[in-house]
Chain A
Amino acid sequence: MTIASSADHPTRRDFLFVATGAAAAVGGLATLWPFVSQMNPDASTIAAGAPIEVDLTPVAEGQDIKVFWRGKPIYISHRTKKQIDEAQKTPLSDLKDPATDESRVKQGHEQWLVVIGICTHLGCIPIAHEGNYDGFFCPCHGSQYDSSGRIRQGPAPANLPVPPYQFVSDSKIQIG
């Protein structure tokens, strides 16, 4: 008898099972979301990552400073005439990750190079004023960057990234 009754309405029965299974799947997936989302930076971390202002007056030509923004070291180099020239004259064909020097600095402020000091290979911090290109040298696996922070030699695949920043005055920048 039970067999007969279930054979009478196979579709209704199947529909119920599918609907219940689908509801369970949707509920389960929705429940997962908070458990994944909580891993993202929390509100205070995001708020602490707000833009910072850096005063450039103490940085003399040929010197550089390291500041932290969102936990990342940012190199701010006051480039010498020589460094600027080298950076501008390098043909794009010599570059692994071609980019002009103009595209990596702000117009009218060519003496300032602002890059995120994290090697694009595996994340070590390159040392400034070292290596063969008057730029940065990464001690971990020997990547070398030029005075525009572009990758020239070694295993790193890309140039040192330029963080979002702008000049709020001639001697002050806002990073972020």
Chain B
Amino acid sequence: MSGPSDYQPSHPVLKWIERRLPIFGFVHGSFVAYPTPRNLNYWWTFGAILSLMLGVQILTGVILAMHYTPEATMAFHSVEAIVRDVNYGWLLRNMHATGASMFFFAVYVHMLRGLYYGSYKEPREVLWILGVIIYLLMMATGFMGYVLPWGQMSFWGATVITNLFSAFPYIGDSIVTLLWGGYSVGNPTLNRFFSLHYLLPFLIAGVVVLHVWALHVAGQNNPAGVEPKTEKDTVAFTPYATIKDMFGVSCFLLLYAWFIFYMPNYLGDADNYIPANPAQTPPHIVPEWYYLPFYAILRSIPNKLAGVIAMFSAILVLAFLPWLDTSKVRSSKYRPLAKQFFWIFVVVAVLLGYLGAQPPEGIYVIAGRILTVCYFAYFLVVLPLLGKIERTKPLPNSIADDVLAKTGSKAVPMVSTVLALIVAGGLLVGGIDTARAAEADTPPANKWSFAGPFGKFDRGSLQRGLKVYKEVCSNCHALSYIAFRNLGDPGGPGYSTAQVASLASEYKIKDGPNDQGEMFERPGRAADYFPSPFPNEQAARNANGGAAPPDLSLITKARSYERGFPWFIFDLFTQYQEQGPDYVAGILQGFEDNPPADAKVPSGSYYNKYFPGHAIKMPKPLSDGQVTFDDGAPTTVTQYAKDVTTFLMWAAEPHMEERKRLGFQVFFFLIIFAGLMYFTKKKVWADAH
């Protein structure tokens, strides 16, 4: 469809170039004059959205790489330094981290659109297979990117995923050692993952070029699934498709911005705010959401090798789709049975994703097995058979006919939609039940001043919380990511430069070596960080009955509790993300002097209502009247807990106020822009109808 175009630039300089390199004609032929079917719907804008996301990921990624250190002892710290110290570092990191999720979300929509409208069928098989290759590369890139922050989930995710290869007989262990560059996941692994994570996106970009090339040879499929025949069936790519794509993109940006500015940690895992610890596996290892269906398939097969094969097959089967689907009709619009099976397949995939995040026990295992069978049955049984037995509806003569007919028909509620609703409803009820059961152990929700889209820290609370930290917590807990200068930063406790300097000078900081080669102590300066109470982790562990008190800088982001279905869906809209603060405040108030009779508390541990397992090594840290406040705030444990948690929330994310403020501005702009795009699109398309 593309190819040599008769376009000639008029400017003599451009003419000169064009004769030697016909690039303007190429661009004009491929992206301006290129005919696109006039009946494309908004599902087709996801191609443009994906191109944008690839660009955003590469751009933000290249920038993050300027500040990131791929070294096992420094990686975690360097990511925190990006978020805390680099100008707009928090924004760039959020763009990249949530961008990965948005990229996968868009690719899933794009793939399902191809599935629904039969976009993989002759003559678009190669186009489709190139897409599957892109998807595979994306998965590898996403996985390695998730390893780079070097938190607990990074480390253990890397361990689990690389160990998949150990399932292969004879060569498995050698492959795993090769991947690691050592006898376990370690610095060499991190280093090579960084290198590959930087390389793969450019490979993706290369395959995308092939993908687009193949698309331009075969031409776009369309909702009717019949090829354009006359000029009446198509419109020029620019302005028609371009403007429609841009409107689609501007709507997508709203979703993207929602995550960047308001829910940056919603799609991540709290455990990844704990630095990697090779000695301790988190109780519940979950991959990123976009791998969950495949993870569920892996776990539902009780044999190691078979599980790994099943997981890889679940992806590879997609490449054979053009030959598995035997129907001559492309679009499911004209395939009443295929349409219903398609929606059932979507529900199966979503449910598999849900199961992938659940602990592999009881009913979840059985459900996982059933759904795994359903997943494969769709490709290996349903699609091959349907083509033989299904009675398809008559196809429109041309795209133009399809466009004209559209105004007449009314959508009939589909059986499958009803089915999906029933399943979802069932899950909802089940979820509420489990949520109820868990309620007793769930820390109570507090009203935080920093919650919600306009949340701000309460300065008084921050200052009181700092006092509680200094007088109580700091005896055992470090706060090593916070420098004294941060206390004067905008959006923080709001101390003046002079106050910060005098606060800092109260501390003795180890410095050196001096000219004599000796370490010495000097009063703290604004640029120094809060000193740690113990010289190293072993000392901390030794002094505290075998459990090292965690660093508190990130504690409110590193702790969470299961919200459970359906709450996690509601949270998406209510922007509830204060599990961490609620948990921390809960722990501080959850000590009970008289534990319930059935509680088993080993000696050296203390009963805490909200601590998982109820036996915590930390003795009750706070009691009424322990810390005095100048501002007349009540000196109660409740108040202490609230203030110190607020302070620690600020410590975990010093730029939170800036994030929410900028978020509001961005939303204001994007809504106006999307509105303008909508009317522009309408105006442009008015000519085409």
Contact = CB atoms under 8 A, between A and B. Distances in A.
A16 B679 contact: yes
A43 B92 contact: no
A17 interface: yes
B99 interface: no
Interface in A144-173: none
B687 A47 contact: no
Contact of A6 (B89, B679, B687): B687
User: Interface residues of B toward A: which range?
Assistant: 20 to 34
Nearest to A2: B687
B673 A43 contact: no
B350 interface: no
A6 B686 CA distance: 9
Contacts of A33: 88
Interface string A18-40: 01100110110010011101111
Interface residues of A, number: 27
B87 A34 contact: yes
B86 A38 contact: yes
Contacts, number: 72
Chain A interface mostly helix, strand, loop or mixed?
helix
Contacts of B92: 34-35, 38
Contacts of A24: 673
A37 B66 CA distance: 13
Contact of B88 (A5, A37, A45, A50): A37
B526 A44 contact: no
A21 B541 CA distance: 61
A44 B676 contact: no
A20 B676 contact: yes
A33 B66 CA distance: 17
B680 A17 contact: yes
A27 B89 CA distance: 19
B673 A44 contact: no
A47 B88 contact: no
A44 B59 contact: no
Interface string A78-119: 000000000000000000000000000000000000000000
B84 interface: yes
Interface in A48-88: 48, 50
Contacts of A27: 669-670, 673
A149 to B, nearest CB: 25
A63 to B, nearest CB: 14
Contacts of B687: 2, 6
Nearest to B682: A16
Contacts of A26: 669
Interface string B59-84: 10001001100000000000001001
A42 B86 contact: yes
Interface in B455-472: none
Contacts of A45: 85
Given A5-B686, A34-B92, A38-B92, A23 B672 contact: yes
B85 A16 contact: no
B91 interface: yes
A67 to B, nearest CB: 11
A20 B676 CA distance: 6
A13 B680 CA distance: 8
B62 to A, nearest CB: 10
A13 B87 contact: no
A70 to B, nearest CB: 12
Interface of B: 59, 63, 66-67, 81, 84-89, 91-92, 483, 485, 489, 525-527, 669-670, 672-673, 676-677, 679-680, 683, 686-687
Given A16-B683, A27-B669, A34-B87, 15 more contacts: A6-B686, A13-B683, A20-B677, A20-B679, A27-B673, A34-B88, A42-B87, A42-B89, A43-B84, A44-B483, A45-B85, A47-B483, A50-B525, A50-B526, A50-B527
